[in-house]
Amino acid sequence: MNIQYQGDLNREGQVVPFRVFLADGLSSDVNTLISSASGLELVDDPELAQGMLIRSKEKFLSPEAFEQHPDLEQIVRVGVGIDNVRLDLASKAGVVVLNTPGASTNAVATRTVALILASAGRVVEATVSLKENEWLKGKKEVQPEDLSQKSLGVIGYGRIGKRTSELAGPFFNKVQFSDVRDLKSPNQVSLENLLSSSQVVSVNTSGDTEILTSELCELIQPGAILVITSRGESVNLEALRRLQEEKNVRVALDVFHQEGKGMFDNQMLMEVIQDKGFIGTPHTAAQDDYTQEQLGHEAAHAMIDFAQKGMVNPKNLSGLNFKSVQLSGPLDRKDKRFLIAHPSIKGTIGKIGTLVDQGGGDIRHFANDSEGFHLNGVHLAATAFDVIGVTPEQAVAIYDKIKSEIKILRGRILSYA
């Protein structure tokens, strides 16, 4: 039996399409994927959207940003970082936040390895000397460095960190990593141990937390190579400059504390960039056409899964505001699927079951983010369940009753035929 999502039930029990807004810079393929999906509709006004696919330009960093989008249910950041969305504020509003780390994994890891090899091989220095009509063969400033007897330390062992280790491993005598999670690996060491025992350090962490503080930077070996392709904020800028000046550390960056035209007014950052051992690229590791296309596709499919199936973070990606919530089991045309974000309070689930029963329905499938989201006093959960044996009007009445008994931050009723 071919069952298709038709749209959401509005408060009058009518089926209306799930509204999606696409940010500028997304490929036409993304437009086609969304517009051709059953039950979805593209809108030009972001304030009308239930779902948004955004790049880095759009910001959700204040309560007002969420208040301006009262119908918003999910934000998908097309890319790895989510520093342009405040997770705590999104959670208070009940908005699911997702990113797309999968598509850019290989591209960013490849750029990391390219920067390591270019720095060790003195490729940029040698190229510049040739352009200036200098033949520096035999000179120290263009002498390449062998890596086969050295250690690579990878900070952050997620998708990109792991792929970096796989790609770079053959060039090194040893690869070790540090991660906030205990991954039960003999190659995992403390961050302090990694910094003091690695000749090449790659930072592949998520988020904008300062990982390499001024104190930790003191542990980095003289003459080491430091490569950062995650976030510029992951290292203390003043300490980074001291590493160059006092320890002759060669720095390779694809990301910066400040990016765009204004970055060149930052005196400290310019000193880092102008250092003779620096090499870098302007945050272009994942900017090739293929990766950008795949990032858009990943984001589009994530939005379609959320719209049509009510799937929350189906891959259970870390660092987001909700863990995975997805229903299994076959659907019936008469099923109405409920998806709600609500405070995680003991007894809520039992109350939902009672209210559904009182409304004449029966819960067929059920899934809940039992841990919920907990940050700065915010403790939320996402719950999905299928109700059988009810008309659209009854489903709306059940939803309204649940809303009167518990605080629903965001909620939907998905309809199928």
| Residues 161 and 188 occupy one common structural domain | yes
| Residues 111 and 88 occupy one common structural domain | no
pTM, to two decimals: 0.84
User: Does any domain span residue 216?
Assistant: yes
Structure-token pair, residue 344: 């995680």
Alpha-carbon dihedral 355, 373, 307, 363, rounded to 10 degrees: -30
Count of the separate structural domains present in the chain:
2
| Residues 261 and 396 occupy one common structural domain | no
What are the φ and ψ backbone dihedral angles of 124, each rounded to 5 degrees?
A: -70, -45
Q: How far apart are CA 240 and CA 247, in angstroms?
A: 10
User: Does any domain span residue 257?
Assistant: yes
Q: Are 414 and 50 in contact (CB under 8 A)?
A: no
Q: How far apart are CA 332 and CA 4, in angstroms?
A: 10
User: Does any domain span residue 120?
Assistant: yes
User: Does any domain span residue 285?
Assistant: no
| Residues 248 and 375 occupy one common structural domain | no
Q: How far apart are CA 226 and CA 242, in angstroms?
A: 13
CATH number for position 180: 3.40.50.720
User: Does any domain span residue 317?
Assistant: yes
| Residues 304 and 225 occupy one common structural domain | no
| Residues 255 and 402 occupy one common structural domain | no
Residue 114 corresponds to which amino acid? A
User: Does any domain span residue 112?
Assistant: yes
User: Does any domain span residue 304?
Assistant: yes
Tens of pLDDT along the chain (417 residues)?
A: 688 999 999 999 999 999 999 987 788 899 999 999 999 999 999 999 999 999 888 999 999 999 999 999 999 999 887 889 999 899 989 999 999 988 899 999 999 999 999 999 999 999 999 999 999 999 999 999 999 999 999 999 999 999 999 999 999 999 999 999 999 999 999 999 999 999 999 999 987 789 999 999 999 999 999 999 999 999 999 999 999 999 999 999 999 999 998 999 999 999 999 999 999 999 999 999 999 999 999 999 999 999 999 999 999 888 888 999 999 878 888 889 999 999 888 899 999 999 999 999 999 899 998 665 666 666 789 999 999 989 999 999 999 999 999 999 999 999 999
Q: How far apart are CA 372 and CA 382, in angstroms?
A: 7
Sheet containing 200-203, strands listed edge to edge, beginning at the edge strand earlier in sequence = 174-178, 151-155, 200-203, 225-228, 250-253, 279-280
| Residues 237 and 319 occupy one common structural domain | no
Domain that holds residue 303: 5-102+290-416
Please report the pLDDT score of residue 374 as a whole number: 63
